[in-house]
Amino acid sequence: MDLGISGRKAIVCASSEGLGKGVAMALAGAGCSVIVNARTEATVKATVAELETLTDSTITGVAADVGTPEGQRALLAACPAPDILINNNGGPPRKDFRDLDRQAMLDGVTQNLVTPIEMIQAVADGMAERGFGRIVNITSLSVLMPIEGLDLSSAARAGLTAFLAGVRGQFAASNVTINNLLPGKMDTKRLQGGLAAAAKAKGVDYNVVAEAQKAEIPAQRFGTAEEFGQTCAFLCSVHAGYITGQNILMDGGLFDHSF
Looking at the fold, whether 160 and 60 belong to one and the same domain comes out as yes
pLDDT value of position 239: 98
94: pLDDT confidence band, cut at 50, 70 and 90? confident
Q: Is the pLDDT of residue 247 over 90?
A: yes
CATH number at residue 31: 3.40.50.720
Closest CA to 167 of 158, 179, 182, 151: 179
Condensed to tens digits (0 to 9), the pLDDT of residues 10-40 reads 999 999 999 999 999 999 999 999 999 999 9
Condensed to tens digits (0 to 9), the pLDDT of residues 79-92 reads 999 999 999 998 88
pLDDT value of position 146: 86
Q: Is the pLDDT of residue 149 over 90?
A: no
Q: Is the pLDDT of residue 93 over 90?
A: no
pLDDT value of position 225: 97
Looking at the fold, whether 174 and 201 belong to one and the same domain comes out as no
Q: What is the mean pLDDT of the chain?
A: 96
| Residue 160 belongs to a domain | yes
| Residue 257 belongs to a domain | no
Q: In the predicted model, what is the mean pLDDT of residues 135-155?
A: 93
Looking at the fold, whether 153 and 36 belong to one and the same domain comes out as yes
Write the CA distances from 159 to 111, 123, 150, 173, 241, integer angstroms. Answer: 12, 20, 14, 24, 24
Looking at the fold, whether 131 and 195 belong to one and the same domain comes out as no
Domain that holds residue 192: 187-222
Q: Is the pLDDT of residue 132 over 90?
A: yes
- The answer to which of 51-60, 81-90, 141-150, 180-189 has the lowest mean pLDDT is 141-150
Number of other CB atoms surrounding residue 7 within 10 Å? 12
Looking at the fold, whether 151 and 198 belong to one and the same domain comes out as no
Q: Is the pLDDT of residue 259 over 90?
A: no
pLDDT value of position 188: 93
Q: Is the pLDDT of residue 98 over 90?
A: yes
| Residue 43 belongs to a domain | yes
Looking at the fold, whether 90 and 191 belong to one and the same domain comes out as no
| Residue 81 belongs to a domain | yes
Looking at the fold, whether 98 and 217 belong to one and the same domain comes out as no
pLDDT value of position 62: 98
Closest CA to 37 of 1, 13, 6, 69: 13
What angle (nearest 5°) sits at the alpha carbon of residue 116, between those of residues 111 and 121?
140
Condensed to tens digits (0 to 9), the pLDDT of residues 51-82 reads 999 999 999 999 999 999 999 999 999 999 99
| Residue 41 belongs to a domain | yes
The total of structural domains in the chain comes to 2
Q: Is the pLDDT of residue 187 over 90?
A: yes
| Residue 258 belongs to a domain | no
Looking at the fold, whether 73 and 157 belong to one and the same domain comes out as yes
Identify the three-state secondary structure at position 143.
Answer: helix
Looking at the fold, whether 45 and 149 belong to one and the same domain comes out as yes
127: pLDDT confidence band, cut at 50, 70 and 90? very high
- The answer to which of 88-92, 107-111, 241-245 has the lowest mean pLDDT is 88-92
Looking at the fold, whether 63 and 129 belong to one and the same domain comes out as yes
| Residue 89 belongs to a domain | yes
Q: In the predicted model, what is the mean pLDDT of residues 191-205?
A: 91
Looking at the fold, whether 54 and 142 belong to one and the same domain comes out as yes
Write the CA distances from 168 to 159, 178, 191, 232, 246, integer angstroms. Answer: 14, 6, 31, 18, 10
Looking at the fold, whether 145 and 198 belong to one and the same domain comes out as no
| Residue 4 belongs to a domain | no
